Amino acid sequence: MTNHTLQCGARTLDLSAPVVMGVLNVTPDSFSDGGRYADRDAALRHAQAMIAAGAKIIDIGGESSRPGAASVSVAEELDRVIPVLEVIAAECDVVISIDSSTAAVMTAAASAGAGIINDIRALSRPGALAAAAATGLAVCLMHMQGEPSTMQQAPSYADVVAEVNQFLRARAADCVTAGIAANKIVLDPGFGFGKTDQHNLALLAALPKIVAQGMPVLAGLSRKSMIGRLLGRPVEDRLIGSVTLALLAAQRGACILRVHDVAETVDALQLQQALNDVALKNAEAGQG
């Protein structure tokens, strides 16, 4: 049974219905919005707009994870994310997620008000697992084959669903061993991270198998290059594809949707919830 709440530092996140995580990249080179929110005031305004549109989580990232992206120094990542995190924590009533793989950034972010550590490397960098455990925060573990600089060169699996599921199960067990409570762990299959389009579609189709592990599942499909290839759309014209994939993920059990287009995704989820509510009432009436 999947947890219906997630304790994120001082805040409790209600996951009884899917929630939206708004993406806030404070990087110069992210694939869809690089450089737009690197300034602290611009980042705050964007966070406030996403919260007003219905985002329950703001995910702050200071290191691009686009295919081919280069790594940044710890000092540079800290300089990018901590001032933004501090001002959002001071000005906004929202769960803040820090999108980082670096132990020092996790520790500083926790002190600055973060409630979730969202790591594309599943706490595999030196010191990351111990640092995350020491914060007491919720963690999101993502599967990635390879590193961002090389992950899309030739991704290969014998059985992508089984291998991703096995990896996530093993990393969750490692987290529990390190002292992170099982009810503070979120799983992310890592759409687009060392996967072909067919791998991504197979994972989406089989998402209930990951959900069946009993931990909340995050899906990040927003503006992915897969949409561009399947629909022939440039990154600025992937709204409908992004919202459709988010809705499909929610229908298959994902309870956190990481998106750039918050308002549109929230609208779609509200319509789905309205339909679900009617279906539930009809079923209860039939049983009576």
DSSP 217: B
66 an active-site residue? no
248 vs 138, 208, 245, 272, CA distance in Å? 25, 11, 5, 10
The alpha carbon dihedral of 235, 269, 218, 197 has a sign of negative
Find where tokens 């579609």 sit.
Answer: 201
Strand 138-142: give its sheet, edge to edge. Answer: 185-188, 138-142, 116-119, 95-99, 57-61, 19-25, 256-259, 218-219
CB 254: neighbour CB atoms within 10 A?
A: 27
Q: For residue 259, what are the β-bridge partners?
A: 22
Residue 262 backbone dihedrals phi, psi, to 5 degrees? -70, -55
121 an active-site residue? no
Q: E strands, the chain, where? A: 5-8, 11-14, 19-25, 57-61, 95-99, 116-119, 138-142, 185-188, 218-219, 256-259
Residue type (1 letter), 33? D
Percentage helix, strand, coil for the chain under 3-state DSSP, each rounded to 5: 45, 15, 40
The active-site residue, picked from 171, 195, 223, 224, is 224
Q: E strands, 11-91, where? A: 11-14, 19-25, 57-61
Residue 97 backbone dihedrals phi, psi, to 5 degrees? -110, 135
The active-site residue, picked from 121, 223, 252, 258, is 258
Catalogue the active-site residues: 224, 258
